[in-house]
Amino acid sequence: MQRIITLDPRTPMNFEPVSTVYLGREIKTAANAILPPTPFEPRPYPWLDPWLETLVALYMSTEREHIPSLPDLTLFVQQAVVQRNHAYYGYRREEHDAMIRRTLEELMYTTPPS
């Protein structure tokens, strides 16, 4: 998922935990490719939807109690599909279905260098 967010199949997969804050609680997560080194520093991908950033961080939590359940994920996705389309993101070209599909295919079928 982090490689899809960074749009780069060469994104290093270093799983050294970093901290993020969710609902006022500090959470350790392996989502370090998309998060700043410490909470409240500038985000490395400011264009990334904060909700998606949080969701990835929670699912990559190093503490089991912070990982949302599958029913919770279903609710999150349903809300996102209803509330967030390309219009939500200002009609940016990269938010259209065809562009998302092309980008995902490129990332999934491109072998990163060893």
The token pair at 7 is 């749009």
CA distance 113 to 94: 25
Q: Which residue has the tokens 């939500």?
A: 88
pTM (predicted TM-score): 0.68
What are the tens digits of pLDDT across the range 42-97? 998 888 888 888 888 998 899 999 999 989 988 888 887 788 776 777 766 766 77
74: left (phi over 0), alpha (psi -120 to 50) or beta: alpha
How many helices (H) and strands (E) would you count in the chain?
A: 4, 2
What are the tens digits of pLDDT across the range 93-110? 766 778 778 877 877 777
Task: Name the residue among 5, 53, 57, 2 with its Cα closest to residue 27.
Answer: 57
